[in-house]
Chains A and B, each alone.
Chain A
C-alpha cells in the first residue's frame, strides 16, 4: 500500500501543506498522522526532508543510519502507546469511569438474563466454599477428639491370649515398671496400678462391729506405685500421696479417692484418721481427685504396691500408665515392650495415641479432593455459561457495537467493555456464591451442632475466583466483539 502511494505522483489537487513552516506534504503526512505524539515532542518534523519526501525508514517505522537518535526512540514509543491523532483531552476519552459505567449499563440491561447467567458461577463458587468450609469444620471436629489428654497418655498391659478358659495374660509387667518407663525419653511420669483382693475383709472408718448396720459393699482396693497419681494427672485434695519410702517399707498407709473418702466419712487428714481393712488399721495420709484416666481410683482405697504385696499377697500388676510428651507415642510403642520385657517384648502391649495430625490430614485430604473436584466442575460449567451468554449478547448487540465504533470507539474500547461486563458478571456470581456458601456451612454446622470453621481468605478468594472466571469466559466473546467490522454491524440495523 505504502509502496504504491510513494511511487504515485503527487495528486493534482493537493493543496500546499507547507503552511506553519512544518514542511510536510501529503506523503509526509503519513508520518504526521501516525506519529502525532512524537511530533508534539520533537516539534517540526525533522525526519521529513525539505523536498517533502518521506524517507522510507520513517514511513516504514525503521530507524535509519545517521538519523537523530531520539527519532527512532520516539517511533518505538509510538508503537507502544495507543496514540491517536492529536487531540486536546485524551485523558477524558473513554476512561476507566466511562468503561465501568458502560459495562454496568450493559450488565444491568437485562436483569432476567443476568440471573440466568450468574447461576452457574453462583453454584460453582458456592459449592467450593461449602466444600472447603465443611472440610475445615469437619477437620475441626476430628481435631477435637484428639484432645490433649488422649495425645499424651500411654497404657501398658500384658498381652493376653484366648484359651478355652477365657482370656489370660501371657506376659507380666515387672514390679519396677515405674523406674523402667521413666528411663525412656519422652515419658514425663509413669505409674503402675493393680486391683487388690481383700477377700471377705470389710473396710470401715471405725473398728466397731455394728450388727444392726446394713451390709455395705466395701470400696474397691487398688495398689499403685508412687508415680501413678502424676501419670494419670490426678490432684491431691488434702494431705499427700505416698512415696517410694512408704512403698519399700510397706507402711500401712492409704490414700483415698474423693468419693471413697466421702463414703468412709473422712474429709481431713491432719488428725491422722485411720481406716480398717479387715483387722488392720491403715493411716489415711491424703485424698485425691480429678484423675484423667482410671477414674475408678476415685472410688477406691489406694495402697502402695509394697504394702499390698506384704499384706494382701498382690501377685501382679494390671496396668502401667505413663504421661508422655506430645508426639512421643510412636517411639514409646517401640521401646516400652523392650524396656519392660527384653526377652519377650511380644508379651507386652502398649496403647499409644495415634499420630493425630496424620489422621486429620488424611481425612481432610479425602474430603477436599472429592468436593473440590465437584466444585471445579461446577465452576467450569459456570464459566461456559458466562461465555455462552456473553457471546450471545455480543451477537445481539452487533448494532450497538457498530454504533460505538462509528462514534469513535476503538477495538480496544469495545473489547474492554465486554470483558469488564463479563468480569462484573463473574464477580457478582462469585460474591453471591460465596455468601450462599457461608450460609450453607453455618446452617449445616448449626444442624449438626458443630463449630463452623471457615477461612476468611477462602471466602474472599472464592468471590474473586468468580471474577477470574468471568475474565476467562469473557475473553473470547470480547475478542469477537472487538473484531466486528463497523460496516457490517451498522448494516444489520437496530
Chain B
C-alpha cells in the first residue's frame, strides 16, 4: 500500500468543486515545476546574477537532485522553487500556475498546500511536541480540522516515529529530528518535497536513514527535489542537475 494514498484521499489542494483550475490537470501533461527563462539578479555593484535564464521541468513523480558548490546559486534556486523569493524575470509555474507575479497571499497558500520543506537545520519548534510540530504544517495548508490528527499520526507512522509523539524535539537525535521534519513536510500531501541539504547536519548512518526514507517516498509517487553539495546524496536521485554560476546543466 502506498503511504501517500492516505494523504491523497483528501488532498488539500484545489478540489474539483473549486473551479476549472484543479487537479484535473493530467499528471502527464503539466509538469509539477516549470521554470521558464527564469532570472534572479541581486542588485549591487556589480549586480549578482544568481540564476541566469534558467529553464527547468520537473515532471510528476520525479526525484531530482541539484548539485553545486556553495555560491553557485543553489540556495537562490531553492528559494525560488519554494516560493520564498521572486524571480527578477521569467516565470515559475507550479502545477501550471504562474507564480512569479502572484500576490503574496496566493503564494503563501501555494506554499502551504503544494510544497513541503525539509531544511538542513530541521527548523523544529523546540517548545512543542513532535506531534505539535507535525500538526503545525496542517494549520496553514487547509487540511480539514477533523483529519489533522489522523494525518499527522499517519505521517509520523510513515517515518517510523509513532512512539515519539509526545517527545520534545530537543531530546531527539539528529536523524529523528530530520524524520520529524520529513513527516511535517509530507503531512499536508504536497505536490513536491523540497529538501535543502537534508543530510548536512547528520552523520552517515542517520543520513542513510533519511535518504532511504526519500527513496520510499519517491517510490510512493512523491516528487522530490533535493538540493545538496554532497555527491553521495545526489547519486540517490533518478535525475541529477548540476548548477554552477547560475546555470543548470543535466548530468547524464
Q: What residues of chain A have their CB less than 8 Å away from a CB belonging to chain B?
A: 1-2, 4-5, 8, 11, 13-17, 19-20, 22, 26, 29-30, 32-34, 36-37, 39-40, 43-44, 82-90, 92-95, 97-98, 102, 105, 109, 399-400, 402-413, 486-487, 490, 493-494
A87 contacts B91, CB within 8 Å? no
Determine the residue in chain B with the shortest Cβ distance to A39: B19
Q: A5-B101, A39-B19, A105-B128 are in contact. List 15 more A-B contacts (CB 8 A).
A: A5-B91, A5-B100, A30-B102, A33-B99, A37-B19, A85-B106, A87-B109, A87-B113, A87-B142, A89-B142, A403-B123, A405-B111, A408-B112, A409-B140, A490-B123
Q: How far is the CA of A95 from the CA of B137 in the complex (A)?
A: 14
Q: Which of B17, B34, B142 contacts A13 (CB 8 A)?
A: B34
A26 contacts B101, CB within 8 Å? no
B84 contacts A29, CB within 8 Å? no
Asked if B79 lies at the interface with its beta carbon under 8 angstroms from chain A, I say yes
Residues from chain B with Cβ under 8 Å of A413 in the complex: 108, 140
Asked if B21 lies at the interface with its beta carbon under 8 angstroms from chain A, I say yes
Q: How far is the CA of A274 from the CA of B7 in the complex (A)?
A: 113
A404 contacts B93, CB within 8 Å? no
Q: How far is the CA of A222 from the CA of B154 in the complex (A)?
A: 103
Residues from chain B with Cβ under 8 Å of A98 in the complex: 139
Asked if B143 lies at the interface with its beta carbon under 8 angstroms from chain A, I say yes
Q: How far is the CA of A19 from the CA of B25 in the complex (A)?
A: 8
Interface core residue of B57, B89, B103 (most chain A CB under 10 Å): B103
- Rounded to whole Å, the gap between the CB of B89 and the closest CB of chain A is 6
- Rounded to whole Å, the gap between the CB of B192 and the closest CB of chain A is 13
B98 contacts A404, CB within 8 Å? no
* Chain B residues numbered 67-111 whose CB sits less than 8 Å from any CB in chain A: 79, 82, 84-85, 89, 91, 93, 96-106, 108-111
Residues from chain B with Cβ under 8 Å of A486 in the complex: 84
Q: Which of B26, B91, B103 contacts A19 (CB 8 A)?
A: B26
B55 contacts A13, CB within 8 Å? yes
A88 contacts B84, CB within 8 Å? no
- Rounded to whole Å, the gap between the CB of B39 and the closest CB of chain A is 11
- Rounded to whole Å, the gap between the CB of B204 and the closest CB of chain A is 23
Q: Count chain B residues whose beta carbon lies closer than 8 angstroms to a beta carbon of A.
A: 67
Q: Which of B30, B97, B103, B121 contacts A493 (CB 8 A)?
A: B121
Q: Which of B24, B29, B136, B144 contacts A407 (CB 8 A)?
A: B136
Q: Which of A34, A39, A87, A406 contacts B103 (CB 8 A)?
A: A34
B105 contacts A30, CB within 8 Å? no
- Rounded to whole Å, the gap between the CB of A450 and the closest CB of chain B is 48
B91 contacts A26, CB within 8 Å? yes
Q: How far is the CA of A135 from the CA of B102 in the complex (A)?
A: 59
Q: How far is the CA of A5 from the CA of B91 in the complex (A)?
A: 8
Q: How far is the CA of A46 from the CA of B128 in the complex (A)?
A: 48
Asked if B238 lies at the interface with its beta carbon under 8 angstroms from chain A, I say no
Q: Which of A19, A22, A43 contacts B29 (CB 8 A)?
A: A19
A17 contacts B30, CB within 8 Å? yes
Known: A102-B139, A105-B127, A407-B141. A87 touches B96 (CB 8 A): no
B108 contacts A87, CB within 8 Å? no
- Among B8-16, B155-163, B206-214, B240-248, the stretch in contact with A: B8-16
A17 contacts B105, CB within 8 Å? no
Asked if B22 lies at the interface with its beta carbon under 8 angstroms from chain A, I say yes
Interface core residue of B79, B126, B139, B144 (most chain A CB under 10 Å): B139
16 A-B pairs within 8 Å (CB atoms) are namely A11-B36, A20-B20, A36-B18, A36-B19, A39-B19, A40-B18, A85-B113, A88-B13, A92-B145, A93-B139, A400-B125, A404-B136, A405-B84, A409-B139, A487-B85, A490-B123
Q: Which of A86, A94, A109 contacts B139 (CB 8 A)?
A: A94
Asked if B119 lies at the interface with its beta carbon under 8 angstroms from chain A, I say yes
Interface core residue of A94, A408, A409, A486 (most chain B CB under 10 Å): A408
Q: Which of A8, A407, A412 contacts B111 (CB 8 A)?
A: A407
Known: A4-B89, A33-B102, A102-B139. A87 touches B57 (CB 8 A): no
Residues from chain A with Cβ under 8 Å of B128 in the complex: 105
B97 contacts A88, CB within 8 Å? no
Q: Which of B25, B109, B184 contacts A84 (CB 8 A)?
A: B109
- Rounded to whole Å, the gap between the CB of B153 and the closest CB of chain A is 17
